[in-house]
Amino acid sequence: MAFRAEEAKSEGLKAALNYFAGPHTNLNESEKEAASALIQKLSRLYIGPVVHTYPTWHPLMTAKKSKLHDYFYPEDGCGYPHLDHTIYFAHGFITCPYSEQCVDELLESVASFRKNKVYTITAEILDRPIYAKGAIPVLVSCRWKYSALPLPIPSGIAVALMLQNELKAWERIDQSTPWEKKASDLLGSPHGQLSSLFVTRETGLKMRKVWQAINNAHVFNYGWGMEGGWF
């Protein structure tokens, strides 16, 4: 089935609005309208469409991570403690803990992320109730230096970040993975064969070519364990 990006964007935003400002919340009508308007504005201007998982190389997953473990969504292991009631977007996420201490620890953790010339990751408390009265909504966002708008990630940046993340593991991985099995890790979800809500088809094609070149060079199975030893 073809990947329908616009349909995925529409369905994702609808689900986020229902989750954060729908009839099941304890917000009053004016608060629901304000929350809905804010989420739509943030999605349109800053953090992009709703997503299910991130590419393993996405800065939100790698800014503070274990070199031995890949992440696909925000959690404590990649620098985000105490997340609660969270929706992911292509360039950020909104989470709604109830404890001020938990929020403070989340803000402090994000503030400690290493600096980078390509992107900046920030965390801030939003100024209106979202999800529930008593919850403290926090926006964590990845601001790309190449653009103020949440555009698809350019191929040069996507390929470079992909290589930077994946090649860290070349000494301990002894088997290559074909693109068809690796695509979900590298494109994020939802996704098609070569595109997702993070990258265009053109960028995905370049990523696949680079990944295939890595496999053809036997980077991840460089000869040990093969009959006869080295190639």
pLDDT digits (tens, 9 = 90+) for 27-54: 999 999 999 999 999 999 999 999 999 9
CA distance 79 to 66: 10
Task: Kindly give the pairing relationship between strand 138-144 and strand 86-89.
Answer: unpaired
Structure tokens at 111: 């503030």
Q: In this predicted structure, what is the pLDDT of residue 150?
A: 79
Measured distance CA(189)–CA(228) in Å, rounded: 40
More confident residue, 5 or 2: 5
Contact indicator for 141, 47 with CB cutoff of 8 Å: yes
3-class DSSP state of 180: helix
Does the pLDDT of residue 92 top 90, yes or no?
A: yes
Amino acid at 223: G
pLDDT given for residue 227 in this prediction: 45
Phi, psi values for residue 166, rounded to 5°: -70, -35
